Amino acid sequence: SQKIEQNSEALNIQEGKTATLTCNYTNYSPAYLQWYRQDPGRGPVFLLLIRENEKEKRKERLKVTFDTTLKQSLFHITASQPADSATYLCALDPLGTSYGKLTFGQGTILTVHP
Partner 1 sequence: NAGVTQTPKFQVLKTGQSMTLQCAQDMNHEYMSWYRQDPGMGLRLIHYSVGAGITDQGEVPNGYNVSRSTTEDFPLRLLSAAPSQTSVYFCASSSPGGANEQFFGPGTRLTVL
**Contact residues for partner 1 (CB under 8 A)?**
4, 9, 32, 34, 36, 41-46, 49, 89, 91, 93, 96-107
**What is the closest distance, in whole angstroms, from the C-beta atom of residue 89 to partner 1 in the complex?**
7
Q: DSSP letter string over the chain?
A: --EEEES-SEEEEETTSPEEEEEEEES---SEEEEEEE-TTS--EEEEEEETT-SEEEETTEEEEEETTTTEEEEEESS--GGG-EEEEEEEETTSS-SS--EE---EEEEEE-
* Nearest CB to partner 1, comparing residues 56 and 81: 56
Cβ distance to partner 1 smaller for residue 53 or 99 = 99
Q: In terms of CB distance, is 17 or 46 closer to partner 1? A: 46
Closest CB 114 distance from partner 1, rounded Å: 27
The nearest distance, CB 70 to partner 1, in angstroms, is 21
